[in-house]
């Protein structure tokens, strides 16, 4: 979420590591899970965290107010929303440099890439739109009007449907990606912020910032089937690759709620840093990375023990977190 939208008395950019080491050699070709990328809202950088050493190994300058980041399926490009510049920075992950800057709508917040690596979808929270960027031409090919204050994004495994959390209307917009039109609007909890699909695409989990719960949406029936109470101000969310558990960063209670998808209840709560917001699940499902906006750190959670095993000092105001996922 970007700077000028305040849903719960917090700077909205908190929703979704300036690096301690700089000037290192360029990374080898991206391998799933090797690196975690962290958008630093106040440092105007993206930190590159090596998961093997648990340290920040590089810092990439991007545009003003980076809020979220997403890797393409092959890991060669990283797309970063520059919320205060109305642009998306395109980063070559091998050279760790910005190779293009694409103008989008007002206050771009969240970003995701289609499974076929053809399109990048950008939620423009200030404009109430989604920009569609062609990865081939790096230009905006479509602009889709959605509900008020679009934030979280999720694309189905087949790439045919895009879900958009619209925080200002307590709903999720359903977009047909072929036609670029909104085909349905689903009611969920208060202030929907982030989205995560199960690996089979059958269920969508929605973190509701202002109602302190997570909505479960049956994507075939297109209806909310459950609502699970979690911690205070749930923000970032992710599903394990085996679909067994959902992790939710609770911004207001400084912890992560662990939800069983079978029982649809919180089975554990993991203490992390101050103001957890962004969240990324490792490709093998063994770890979850959480950015802590108020303590400028990245927490590493062992999903087998539900305990924080490492805390990595990162940049100023870390928000969005991403890592490349293993091929399906």
Task: Report the alpha-carbon distance of residue 228 to residue 260 in Å, rounded.
Answer: 10
Query: Tokens 């919320």 — which residue?
Result: 83
**Two tokens at 247?**
């992790």
Contact 307/284 with Cβ under 8 angstroms? no
Query: Per-residue pLDDT for the chain (328 aa), expressed as one digit of tens each?
Result: 443 344 333 333 333 332 222 223 333 445 666 999 999 999 999 999 999 999 999 999 999 999 999 999 999 999 999 999 999 999 999 999 999 999 999 999 999 999 999 999 999 999 999 999 999 999 999 999 998 999 999 999 999 999 999 999 999 999 999 999 999 999 999 999 999 999 999 999 999 999 999 999 999 999 999 999 999 999 999 999 999 999 999 999 999 999 999 999 999 999 999 999 999 999 999 999 999 999 999 999 999 999 999 999 999 999 999 998 766 5
User: Residue 80: CB partners within 8 Å, gap ≥ 6?
Assistant: 39, 46, 62, 63, 66, 68, 69, 88, 89, 90, 91, 111, 320
pTM above 0.85, yes or no: yes
For 224, the 3-state DSSP assignment is strand
Q: How far is CA 236 from CA 14, 160, 181, in A?
A: 10, 23, 26
């Amino acid at each position: 979420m970007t700077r000028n939208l305040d849903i719960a008395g917090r700077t909205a950019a908190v929703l979704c590591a300036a690096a301690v080491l700089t000037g290192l050699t360029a990374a080898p070709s991206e391998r799933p899970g090797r690196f975690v990328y962290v958008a630093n809202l106040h440092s105007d950088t993206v930190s590159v965290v090596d998961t093997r050493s648990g340290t920040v190994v590089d810092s990439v300058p991007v545009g003003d107010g980076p809020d979220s980041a997403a890797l393409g399926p092959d890991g060669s490009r990283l797309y970063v929303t520059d919320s205060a510049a109305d642009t998306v920075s395109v980063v070559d992950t091998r050279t760790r440099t910005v190779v293009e800057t694409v103008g989008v709508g007002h206050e771009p917040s969240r970003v995701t890439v289609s499974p076929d690596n053809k399109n990048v979808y950008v939620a423009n929270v200030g404009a109430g739109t989604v920009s569609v960027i062609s990865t081939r031409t790096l230009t905006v090919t479509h602009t889709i009007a959605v509900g008020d204050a679009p934030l979280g994004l999720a694309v189905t495994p087949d790439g045919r449907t895009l879900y958009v959390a619209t925080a200002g209307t307590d709903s999720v917009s359903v977009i047909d990606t072929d036609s670029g039109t909104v085909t349905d609007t689903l009611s969920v909890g208060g202030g929907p912020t982030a989205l995560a699909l199960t690996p089979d695409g059958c269920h969508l989990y929605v973190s509701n910032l202002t109602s302190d719960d997570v909505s479960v949406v049956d994507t075939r029936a297109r209806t909310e089937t459950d609502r699970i109470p979690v911690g205070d101000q749930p923000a970032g969310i992710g599903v394990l690759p085996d679909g067994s558990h959902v992790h939710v960063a609770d911004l207001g209670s400084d912890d992560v709620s662990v939800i069983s998808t079978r029982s649809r209840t919180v089975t554990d709560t993991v203490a992390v840093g101050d103001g957890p917001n962004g969240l990324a699940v490792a490709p093998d499902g063994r770890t979850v990375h959480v950015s802590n906006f108020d303590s400028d750190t990245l927490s590493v959670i062992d999903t087998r023990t539900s305990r924080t095993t490492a805390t990595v000092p990162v940049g100023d105001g870390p928000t969005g977190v991403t890592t490349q996922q293993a091929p399906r």
